[in-house]
């Protein structure tokens, strides 16, 4: 049996510039993001019958890879070259569709486990690149590349997306004191709902191509990346909150349904109770508000939301059981 563990991610700045429609025009895109200690687990076990069994919200029991309905599982099996005699199950700390990159964490974790099942060790860069190929090029999902690289590499990084499709992962080095400060002053507040990001991202892709004003909004968000990195490294919490607030205002202009009246009200309430700034994570419409505040014990009492701590994962996708 093999178990892989792959982190979810939180993006601070530059989200959207990892879409091909942006970096192919601009020359490159970049994000500041961190992997967090909330995980996707993929379990693989030999299957007694000469078939493939997959357990997720449904159970599939099929004779041939092409008969698999779960597109990510089907394409990962084809990529690795496994066609029978295997059972796959997955479990996650957080529900999908909440803006933490769960789909790409699953793809990266499944590839990692399948290669281990075949007795192969694959680099983090290859894991991320192959996950991008499956999700973006083969399945035509309207997503960017940051989630796959954040999940594979772990840690907090600047991830740069180049016009020639190469990707550079540049670690952001923090002192223990400033790492603790970031983890103490940032908390994730669950606003509810689950959604597929595709509809919002398809509209965003279209707007990047056809609407120069929205392209400029996204370019402004991309231009925050280096400043965001510097503020994180220096432990400058108040200006980091202000930068995230500015980015959130720009993000809401990229496409419809990124926010709604309930999310706007919760964010306004947080600001009224002393939040220095924040943003909704993921494509939008549901999930978690990232909020910066000096005292989250007080803020969480005012907000009446479920919360999730931001703890930085420093390992990325890994095999945690092999027997």
pLDDT tens, residue order, the chain (323 aa): 999 999 999 999 999 999 999 999 999 999 999 999 999 999 999 998 899 999 998 999 999 999 999 999 999 999 999 999 999 999 999 988 899 999 999 999 999 999 999 999 999 999 999 999 999 999 999 999 999 999 999 999 999 999 999 999 999 999 999 999 999 999 999 998 766 667 778 888 888 888 889 899 999 999 999 999 999 999 999 999 999 999 999 999 998 889 999 999 999 999 999 999 999 999 888 899 999 999 999 999 999 899 999 999 999 999 999 99
Positive or negative, the CA dihedral 43, 311, 197, 289 is positive
Q: Residue 158 forms beta bridges with which residues?
A: 32, 170
pLDDT at 183: 98
CA 108 vs CA 12, 78, 209, 235, 300: distances in Å? 21, 14, 29, 31, 33
Inter-residue contact 266 to 289 (CB < 8 Å):
yes
Q: How far is CA 185 from CA 9, 76, 227, 307, in A?
A: 17, 38, 18, 13
Quote the crossing angle between the two packed helices 124-132 and 102-117, to the nearest 10°.
120
Going by DSSP bridges, is the β-strand pair 186-192/307-309 parallel, antiparallel, or unpaired? Answer: antiparallel
pLDDT of residue 164: 97
Q: CA 58, 63, 65, 70: dihedral to nearest 10 degrees?
A: -10
Among the residues of the chain, which ranges form H helices? Answer: 20-26, 71-80, 102-117, 124-132, 146-153, 176-185, 198-210, 212-222, 225-234, 237-251, 261-272, 296-303
Q: Please answer whether residues 178 and 234 qualify as being in contact, where contact means their C-beta atoms are separated by less than 8 angstroms.
A: yes
Residue 212: the pLDDT is 87
Helices and strands, number each (H, E), in the chain: 12, 12
Cβ–Cβ < 8 Å for 287, 190: yes
- Residue 211, pLDDT score: 84
Scanning the structure block, which residue is given the tokens 């020639």?
164
* CA-closest candidate to residue 280, choices 297, 265, 294, 295: 265
CB atoms within 10 A of CB 246: 16
Strand, coil or helix: 240: helix
Q: Specify the pLDDT at position 210.
A: 83
pTM: 0.96
Domains and CATH numbers, the chain: 2-173+313-322 (3.30.230.10), 176-309 (3.30.70.890)
CA 57 remoteness from chain centre: 21
Query: Based on C-alpha coordinates, what's the Rg of the chain?
Result: 19
Query: What is the structure's pLDDT at 196?
Result: 64
- Which residue, 107, 273, 286, 315, is CA-closest to 189? 286
Query: Tell me, what's the pLDDT at 194?
Result: 65
């Amino acid at each position: 049996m093999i178990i892989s563990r792959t982190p979810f991610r939180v993006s601070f700045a530059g989200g959207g510039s990892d879409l091909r429609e942006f970096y192919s025009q601009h020359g490159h895109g970049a994000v500041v993001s961190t992997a967090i200690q909330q995980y996707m687990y993929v379990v693989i076990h030999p299957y007694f019958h000469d078939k493939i069994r997959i357990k997720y919200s449904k159970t599939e029991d099929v004779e041939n890879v092409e008969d698999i309905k779960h597109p990510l599982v089907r394409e990962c099996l084809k990529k690795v070259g496994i066609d029978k005699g295997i059972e796959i199950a997955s479990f996650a700390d957080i529900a999908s569709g909440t803006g933490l990159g769960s789909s790409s964490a699953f793809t990266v974790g499944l590839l990692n486990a399948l290669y281990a099942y075949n007795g192969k060790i694959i680099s983090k860069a290859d894991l991320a690149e192959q996950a991008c190929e499956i999700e973006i090029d083969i399945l035509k999902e309207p997503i960017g590349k940051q989630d796959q690289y954040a999940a594979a590499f772990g840690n907090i990084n600047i991830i740069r997306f180049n016009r020639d499709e190469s990707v550079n992962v540049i670690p952001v080095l923090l002192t223990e004191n400033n790492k603790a400060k970031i983890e103490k002053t940032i908390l994730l507040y669950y606003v509810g709902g689950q959604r597929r990001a595709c509809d919002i991202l398809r509209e965003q892709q279209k707007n990047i191509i056809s609407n120069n004003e929205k392209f400029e909004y996204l370019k402004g968000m991309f231009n925050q990346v280096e400043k965001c990195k510097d503020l994180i490294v220096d432990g400058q919490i108040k200006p980091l909150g202000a930068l995230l607030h500015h980015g959130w205002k720009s993000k809401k202009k990229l496409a419809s349904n990124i926010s709604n009246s309930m999310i706007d009200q919760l964010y306004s309430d947080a600001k009224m109770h002393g939040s220095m700034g924040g943003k909704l994570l993921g494509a939008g419409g549901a999930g978690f508000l990232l909020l910066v505040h000096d005292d989250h014990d007080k803020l969480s009492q005012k907000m009446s939301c479920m919360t999730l701590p931001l703890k930085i994962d420093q390992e990325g996708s890994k095999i945690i059981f092999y027997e």
